[in-house]
Structure 1
Amino acid sequence: KMKKDTDVYNANTGDTERIGSVFSLRGKEQLEVSEVEAGDIGATSKLQYFKTGDTISLKTAPVSYDKIDFPKPCYFMAVKGKTKDSDEKIGTGLQRLNEEDPTFSIERNIETKELIVGGQGNIQLDVLASKLKNNYKVDVELSPPKVAYRETIKGKSDVQGKHKKQSGGAGQYGDVRIRFEPSQEEFEFTEEIFGGSVPKNYIPAVEKGLRESLEKGVLAGCKVVNVKATLYDGSYHEVDSNEMAFKIAASLAFKKGMLEAKPILLEPIAKVEINIPDEYLGDIMGDMNKRRGRILGMEQQADGSQLVKAEAPMAEMYTYAIELKSMTQARGTFEVEFLRYEEMPNNLAEKVIAEYKAANEN
């Protein structure tokens, strides 16, 4: 039994707190009752130490039932406040709502600088947006997330980066010659300087300039990966050369070198597992082909359903939850997991590059 003013215990956290009023629910009505017994559905408010999924018990007889195995989020949208100062309110509101509803996820994408919310479908996320407005007084917009593309090179280049600035007193002078080529590692830097054409104390500045440049590629401003840079020559000035000058020279060489080494866009590829009744198999396979997906195989499940294993670009999977519901009369489920990066088809890459250039011209 659970009565008003009873001290209850959370075996998961070790916390004790006192129950206030106890209610029985009837539609929208809350009817105050003296107690609720095993088998009753009851409610209480203002619990400080309990979250969804915790078991309420007594300290004298602690009980902790197995946690609910919630489905993984499969529908993702970016959340943005309609006013500039609303970020903090959105973060606080979503954290509180997540304590009530652990079936949605919150993640800040460092690369695209977006706050991504994942749930089971568009209705759940629309409800979250309305709760943020009603309970936390913050208006938000939901939009498809930006895709975190990558850039790399397919060819080789040999370039010079020269930074020379003269203004009154001491100027700035840095001159480097760098070879760029593809690499298996995220970034490799080597130097083959002979005869002191670039003094040893400036070489770390050259590497730093290159590493900072990796954050923004030349095609669509995406992170650059799988590049090897070899500093093999250069020149310096006894008075005007300094670390900053060589850092700038390296970044100039990077931009030039990337453009000359056949740069390409890479897109994230996801591993997809779709569980569907057998009769929808043809529709699902046809739809996956339209999304540029590859079917890897199928497995018959014990209950007669089919588990389809596939790979598909992440960009094609953000709204898949809605389409799958429509195709299978809400009888299909799926899971998506990031797998790797792959070269993007040229016609689609050109579109992404054009959108980036148009956005940065304004």
Structure 2
Amino acid sequence: MKVYETKQIRNVVLLGHGGSGKTTVAEAMSFVAGNISKMGSISSGNTISDYDKEEIKRGFSISTSLVPVEYEGESGSLKINLLDTPGYFDFVGEVEEAVSAADAAIIVVNCKAGIEVGTVKAWEICEEYGLPRIFFVTNMDDDKASYRELLLKLETRFGRKVAPFHLPIRENEKFVGFVNVVKMKGRRFTHLSDYVECEIPDYVEANLKIAREALMEAVAETSEEYMERYLSGEGFSDEEISGALKDNICNGDIVPVMMGSGIDAQGFKALMMAIEKYFPSPDFKECVGVDVSNGEHFTAKYNKDVSLSARVFKTIVDPFIGKYSLVKVCTGTLKPDSAIYNVGKETEEKSGKIYVLRGKSAIEVPELVAGDIGAMAKLSVTTTGDTIALKSAPILYHGPKISSPYTCMRYKIVNKGEEDKLSSGLSKLMEEDLTLKHVNDTANRQTLIYGIGDQQLEVVVSKLLDRYKVKIELSRPKVAFKETIRQKVEAAGRYKKQSGGHGQFGDVKMSFEPSGDLEKPYVFEETVFGGSVPKNYFPAVEKGIAECCVKGPLAAYPVVGVKAVLLDGSYHPVDSSEMAFKMAATIAFKDGFMKAAPVLLEPIYTVSVIVPDKFTGDVMGDLNKRRGRVLGMESVNHGKQLIKADVPMLEMFGYNTELRSMTGGMGVFSYEFARYEQTPGDIQKKEVEARASKLDADAE
């Protein structure tokens, strides 16, 4: 593959609902451009971008893939770096990484399915990142698909920005061509995406007039001069229209709607021409970072003739194709075997060979210029989000903004002795997917894995088995209950044992009461008078209390918020020992704790849920069912509401699935730990009964 200059590059992310046809669009563009000799298909499992075993098995994208399309356009050679992203919401981290490297987006919409949740989410992420976009409508070969109906829905949902650039031509209920609204000419397909000019059918005229008028209004609004000419009835030249449309599309003020058939590879030549003409090259934007040498704000155009700087926006770790760090070059030129500097980690590495990835194929290239996307292999320190530069010009860029995971499952290894394989496999998967998180919960003796959703965690289990030959099982996580007391009591503990020779003797009288501090297990004090318990045994008494707080007498959960005071006791000058007094304190603690109105405490989380207005009633009703207390509600952008509620952690299991079901996938949530509260009596009784075996085992 040859080296392309910045002006010849278009970085385009494919967005849309799962199953809308993004991968087929990437496949068809590669085929029409002549980069591949035959189109693959999802059903056959032989597409460029869905090459992973899990993707082939499941029939949908799991990871973002890079598909560079080399295209001979009107102005010469062009390289379109397509970033094919997953459409399923569990893999949103992959989308966020891709969007951070893109300069424009194609939102793929299935004409028959219409506007889906993924379509709306794609629009929202483009708005958030300020990406120019085109709607590309697929499945036009289905005669039951209504383009006119879809167009009305797009305009209603997304506003006057939406502008049809194409209107379909059908004959005998078949999609045979389209009308180019910009050029006011008919196009009839001859072979694949090739077409010839044709007459505009009469039945298109009415819709064409409306679409053309909307386009001319948009052109007129780009300047006062154009507006005056438009109002006076003057027309615009093709060059004026094209220039005005490019400005509006680059600024996101116009969103064209184009069409095609992925299966028949129709409409993709026109799409690539639009990408060339209307989408910006990387130098349309500036790269913004921090100059580490002086701490000042850094802004620069994508320019190949200055010092090197680049962002690592994704990492691929595959046991078969190896590890690749995907980079977008911001300034300068990245060359093989160069000394590069990881700015954030203050470490030098060597670039090695430079590649352009096409799916799983790594194509070696002599260099990558500013604005281009490529890959480096086997970097030992550099990970996703890092910045590489020259040590003499250390620029630091922000990494991708990645969603936090809130779906949690407990996992156990099936075969003992494979812990090292599991640790290695998990670390590699987490290096690839930043929305995965591993937590070792020592307090509850469980290992936890966090992800965006259940499907993502299922894929993790499958990948661990397939790639790294280690099997794990997922289960419901244990809730971190704690134990405390509500009353003040006194209790005595006597430990006496005689077995020939020296015996064991310890005797204590203690009081136990709430300390008021649930952050600490216990507070220990002594008010012993007259040496009834020698001072050298005080630490042993406290040690007995400390050990009892690890597993409480109620349900074997950690104890918090207890004040223990040593009041009195007695000792034997020969038989007393530290061990005897520790045991005496243990006896006193267990007796006193169970007399002092013991209760279980459960963790309470403050949950934030963002949903469209129409779902607020259902969501609040569901939170109430989960013993939640709604704290308030406030409006946020795009007709959505932010609902805040305090909910027991026990009731949050499976909430992600339930929220998606209630809101059609539109709801998102997050949570953070708030405090511990007393558990209701019925739940406490159930938990204590369930944990009885733990107490019995400890007693033995």
TM-score (norm 2): 0.49
Q: Counterpart in 1 of 2:654?
A: 319
Counterpart mapping for 1:7-22 below 5 A: 7-22=339-354
Q: Residues of 2 paired with 1:248 and 1:83: CA distance?
A: 39
| Contact map agreement 1:173 1:245 (CA 8 A) in 2 | yes
Distance 1:253 1:17, change over 3 A: same
How far off its partner does 1:270 sit? Answer: 0.4
Whichever residue aligns with residue 122 of structure 1, its letter is D
| Contact map agreement 1:81 1:87 (CA 8 A) in 2 | yes
| Contact map agreement 1:148 1:267 (CA 8 A) in 2 | yes
Q: Counterpart in 2 of 1:207?
A: 542
Q: Counterpart in 2 of 1:95?
A: 427
How far off its partner does 1:26 sit? Answer: 3.1
The answer to whether 1:193 aligns with 2:528 is yes
Distance 1:60 1:198, change over 3 A: closer
Distance 1:232 1:17, change over 3 A: closer
Greater mean deviation of Cα atoms: 303-312 or 30-39: 30-39
Q: Counterpart in 1 of 2:506?
A: 174
How far off its partner does 1:60 sit? Answer: 5.3
Q: Counterpart in 2 of 1:110?
A: 442
The answer to whether 1:343 aligns with 2:675 is no
Distance 1:134 1:58, change over 3 A: farther
Give the SS at the match of 1:80: strand
Whichever residue aligns with residue 532 of structure 2, its letter is S
Counterpart mapping for 1:284-323 below 5 A: 284-323=619-658
How far off its partner does 1:164 sit? Answer: 0.4
| Contact map agreement 2:553 2:695 (CA 8 A) in 1 | no
Whichever residue aligns with residue 86 of structure 1, its letter is E
How far off its partner does 1:333 sit? Answer: 1.6
Q: Residues of 1 paired with 2:445 and 2:436: CA distance?
A: 19
Greater mean deviation of Cα atoms: 287-296 or 41-50: 41-50
Counterpart mapping for 1:1-362 below 5 A: 1-59=333-391, 61-185=393-517, 186=520, 187-358=522-693
| Contact map agreement 1:176 1:253 (CA 8 A) in 2 | yes
Q: Counterpart in 1 of 2:261?
A: none
Give the SS at the match of 1:180: strand
| Contact map agreement 1:52 1:101 (CA 8 A) in 2 | no
Whichever residue aligns with residue 533 of structure 2, its letter is V
Whichever residue aligns with residue 654 of structure 2, its letter is T
Q: Residues of 2 paired with 1:280 and 1:355: CA distance?
A: 37
Whichever residue aligns with residue 530 of structure 2, its letter is G
Higher relative contact order (CA 8 A, sep 6+): 1
Greater mean deviation of Cα atoms: 287-296 or 66-75: 66-75
Deviations 1:281-334 (A, max 9, x none): 011101101111110000111332111111001122243222222222222221
How far off its partner does 1:3 sit? Answer: 3.9
Greater mean deviation of Cα atoms: 65-74 or 88-97: 88-97
Q: Residues of 2 paired with 1:229 and 1:62: CA distance?
A: 57
Q: Residues of 2 paired with 1:308 and 1:91: CA distance?
A: 38
Whichever residue aligns with residue 227 of structure 1, its letter is V
| Contact map agreement 2:623 2:630 (CA 8 A) in 1 | yes
Q: Residues of 1 paired with 2:567 and 2:399: CA distance?
A: 59
Q: Residues of 2 paired with 1:244 and 1:112: CA distance?
A: 27
Q: Residues of 2 paired with 1:13 and 1:142: CA distance?
A: 35
How far off its partner does 1:76 sit? Answer: 1.0
Whichever residue aligns with residue 192 of structure 1, its letter is T
Distance 1:17 1:183, change over 3 A: closer
| Contact map agreement 1:73 1:105 (CA 8 A) in 2 | yes
Whichever residue aligns with residue 454 of structure 2, its letter is N
Whichever residue aligns with residue 408 of structure 2, its letter is F
Give the SS at the match of 2:591: helix
| Contact map agreement 1:103 1:120 (CA 8 A) in 2 | yes
Deviations 1:46-84 (A, max 9, x none): 111210011343445543221222222111112221123
Greater mean deviation of Cα atoms: 54-63 or 262-271: 54-63
Q: Residues of 2 paired with 1:334 and 1:286: CA distance?
A: 16
Whichever residue aligns with residue 333 of structure 1, its letter is V
Give the SS at the match of 1:64: strand
Distance 1:37 1:120, change over 3 A: same
Q: Residues of 2 paired with 1:205 and 1:55: CA distance?
A: 54
Give the SS at the match of 1:264: strand
Greater mean deviation of Cα atoms: 312-321 or 160-169: 312-321
Give the SS at the match of 1:298: strand
Q: Residues of 1 paired with 2:335 and 2:652: CA distance?
A: 48
| Contact map agreement 1:21 1:32 (CA 8 A) in 2 | yes
Give the SS at the match of 2:417: helix
Greater mean deviation of Cα atoms: 289-298 or 352-361: 352-361
Distance 1:40 1:245, change over 3 A: same
Q: Residues of 2 paired with 1:55 and 1:131: CA distance?
A: 29
| Identity, % of aligned positions | 49
Whichever residue aligns with residue 173 of structure 1, its letter is F
Whichever residue aligns with residue 260 of structure 1, its letter is K
How far off its partner does 1:88 sit? Answer: 3.5
Structure 1 gap segments, 5+ residues each: none
Whichever residue aligns with residue 414 of structure 2, its letter is K
How far off its partner does 1:222 sit? Answer: 0.6
Whichever residue aligns with residue 167 of structure 1, its letter is S
Distance 1:57 1:131, change over 3 A: farther
Whichever residue aligns with residue 143 of structure 1, its letter is S
| Contact map agreement 1:78 1:144 (CA 8 A) in 2 | yes
Distance 1:242 1:361, change over 3 A: closer
Greater mean deviation of Cα atoms: 305-314 or 32-41: 32-41
Whichever residue aligns with residue 134 of structure 1, its letter is D
Q: Residues of 2 paired with 1:360 and 1:188: CA distance?
A: 24
Q: Residues of 1 paired with 2:340 and 2:536: CA distance?
A: 66
| Contact map agreement 1:160 1:176 (CA 8 A) in 2 | yes
Distance 1:134 1:36, change over 3 A: farther
Q: Residues of 2 paired with 1:62 and 1:250: CA distance?
A: 61
Q: Residues of 2 paired with 1:310 and 1:95: CA distance?
A: 34
How far off its partner does 1:172 sit? Answer: 0.2
Larger radius of gyration: 2
Give the SS at the match of 1:323: helix
Whichever residue aligns with residue 91 of structure 1, its letter is S
Matched length: 362
Give the SS at the match of 1:225: coil
